[in-house]
Amino acid sequence: MKAVKDRITPSREFCVYTSCYCEENVWKLCEFVQTARTAPLEQLFVVFISNDNRMVPLWKQKSGHADHPVIWDYHVILLHVDPQSEVLVYDLDTELSFPCNLRLYGSQALRSDHHIKPEYHRKLRVIPAESFLLNFASDRTHMKNPDGSWKKPPPSYPPLKTTGCQMNLDDFISMSPAVGWGTVFSLNQFLQKYLGCSSTTSSSSSSAQS
């Protein structure tokens, strides 16, 4: 059932969430929609945000401060593309609403690459939710220190895996079009496709700026 108009997931406080495991949080959102049938699965797209340097600024993140960005190695959000409605973003780590329309999320959280250094420019890998559910696998080793301790506590449920794979997270984070699933876009290409506009927001002071 939908808790509010247009929401296809539980409210934020009732979603399965583990800090610093955004890819698994989004997997669980996809699983919920698939099971509860709150929207056609073909309307959902998983979006990995990263670049070749694995340094991408995002604003309006809960772990950020004031109007400064957080520099992630990657981040993952869920996109709901309903032809009868505005495109919505589901991001459990944002200070913005849940869900948030993509136009607002683009202007407040993604902003623009125009005024930041090239090494921080964002790329986005967009994967159909069904493909993500079928193919994603993570044994969570990327979250372990050399001594085997956890960098951040893992989710309580077992690691996500497929019948033939236990770890392919890097294939999703990679922004090489020749690797993995889905389609890789620049930030402007992504906004052009899903909003029909380019990224034209003003810059903010940060170490990512030129």
Q: Per the residue annotation, which of 91, 93, 100, 113 is the catalytic one?
A: 91
Band of residue 44 on the pLDDT scale cut at 50, 70, 90: very high
Active-site residue, 30 included: no
Q: Per the residue annotation, which of 6, 15, 20, 22 is the catalytic one?
A: 22
Q: Is the pLDDT reported for residue 209 higher than 90? A: no
Active-site residue, 22 included: yes
Are the CB atoms for 16 and 23 separated by under 8 Å?
A: no
Q: Per the residue annotation, which of 75, 80, 93, 113 is the catalytic one?
A: 75
What value does the mean pLDDT take over residues 31-55?
Answer: 98
Q: What share of the chain is helix, strand, coil (3-state, %, to 5)?
A: 25, 20, 55
For every residue of 99-144, DSSP letters joined together read SEEHHHHIIIII--STTB-GGG--EEEEEEHHHHHHH-----GGGB
Domains of the chain and any CATH numbers: 18-195 (3.10.620.10)
Active-site residue, 121 included: no
Q: 45-84 pLDDT, tens per residue? A: 999 999 999 999 999 999 988 789 999 999 999 999 999 9
